[in-house]
A and B are shown apart, each in its own frame.
Chain A
Amino acid sequence: MNQIPISQAFLGGMILYAAAGLIGLIAARQRNLVRIAACALAALGAVLEGVASFAVIKDAHETIISIPSGAFFLPYTFRLDPLSCYFNLALAVVGLAISIYSFGYLKSFDSQKPVGVFCFFYSLLLISLTAVFTAANAVLFLVAWELMALAAYFLVSFDHEKDETRRAGILFFIMSHAGTGALLVAFLLLGTWAGSFDFSAFHVASQTLTPLQRGSLFLLFFLGFGVKAGMIPVHVWLPAAHPAAPSNVSALMSAILIKTGIYGILRIAFDFLGIPPLWWGLLVLAAGTVSAILGVLYALIEPDLKRMLAYSTIENAGIILMTLGGAMVFRSYDRPFLAAIALAACLFHIFNHAVFKSLLFLSAGAVVHATETRNMERMGGLIRRMPLTALCFLVGAIAISGLPPLNGFVSEWLSYQALLGGFGSTLSLTRIVFPIAGSLLALTGALAAACFVRAFGIGFLALPRSSQATHAHEAHPSMLAGMGALAALCIALGLGATLWLPLLDPLVVQLVNNKVSSNLVLAGGLVLSSGSPKGGTVAPAVLAGLLVLLTLLPGLLLAFWRRRRRTVSGPTWDCGLPGLTEDNEYTATAFSKPLRMIFAAFYQPRREIQTEFEVSAYYPTSIRFESGVEPAFETHLYTPLKDRILARASRLRTIQAGSIHAYLAYIFITLVVLLLFGVRS
Chain B
Amino acid sequence: MSFVHDPQFGDRMITLMAALVLVLQIAMVGQRWLITNIRMFALQSFLLAAIAGTIAFFNHSNHIYIAAVLTFVVKTLVLPILLERIVARVGIQQEIEPLINVPLSVLISGGLTLVGYIVAESFYHPEETSAPAALGHNTLAIAIALFLIGFFMMLNRRKALTQVLGLLSMENGLFLAAISLTYGMPLVVEIGIFFDVLVAAMVLGILVYRIGETFDSMDVSKLRRLRG
Contact = CB atoms under 8 A, between A and B. Distances in A.
A657 B122 contact: no
B99 A658 contact: no
B122 A658 contact: no
Contacts of B115: 672, 675-676
Contact of A660 (B119, B223, B225): B223
A676 B112 CA distance: 11
Given A664-B154, A668-B152, A658 B118 contact: no
A553 interface: no
A658 B155 contact: no
Contacts of B144: 675
B210 to A, nearest CB: 14
Interface string B39-60: 0000000000000000000000
A668 B119 contact: no
A281 B71 CA distance: 66
A659 B219 CA distance: 11
Interface residues of B, number: 21
Contacts of B227: 656-658
A38 B57 CA distance: 60
Interface string A664-679: 1101100110011011
A671 B155 CA distance: 13
A661 interface: yes
B121 A661 contact: no
A103 B226 CA distance: 45
A672 B147 CA distance: 11
Contacts, number: 45
Contacts of B224: 657-659
A675 B119 contact: yes
Contacts of A675: 115, 119, 144
Contacts of A657: 224, 227
Interface in A431-482: none
B148 interface: yes
B32 to A, nearest CB: 18
Contacts of B155: 661, 664-665, 668
Nearest to B118: A679
Given A660-B221, A660-B223, A672 B154 contact: no
Interface in B167-214: none
B220 A668 contact: no
Q: Name the prevailing secondary structure of the A interface residues.
A: helix
Q: On chain A, which size bracket covers the interface?
A: 10 to 19
Contacts of B223: 658-660
B99 A671 contact: no
Contacts of A672: 112, 115, 148
Nearest to B144: A675
B73 to A, nearest CB: 29
A525 B114 CA distance: 86
A668 B220 CA distance: 17
Contact of A679 (B121, B148, B152, B220): B121
Contacts of B121: 679
B151 A661 contact: no
Given A664-B151, A664-B154, A664-B155, A659 B221 contact: yes
A659 B163 CA distance: 14
Contacts of B151: 664, 667-668, 671
A668 B156 CA distance: 11
Contacts of A676: 115, 118-119
Contacts of B154: 664
Nearest to B220: A660
A649 to B, nearest CB: 14
Contacts of B221: 659-661
Q: Interface centre among A658, A660, A671, A672, by most B CB within 10 Å?
A: A660
A491 B185 CA distance: 68
Interface string A633-661: 00000000000000000000000111111
The 8 closest A-B pairs by CB, nearest first: A658-B227, A658-B224, A679-B122, A664-B155, A660-B220, A675-B119, A668-B151, A679-B119
8 contacts: A658-B226, A668-B148, A668-B151, A672-B112, A672-B148, A678-B119, A679-B118, A679-B122
Given A665-B155, A676-B118, 11 more contacts: A657-B227, A658-B224, A660-B220, A661-B99, A661-B155, A668-B155, A672-B112, A675-B119, A676-B115, A676-B119, A678-B122
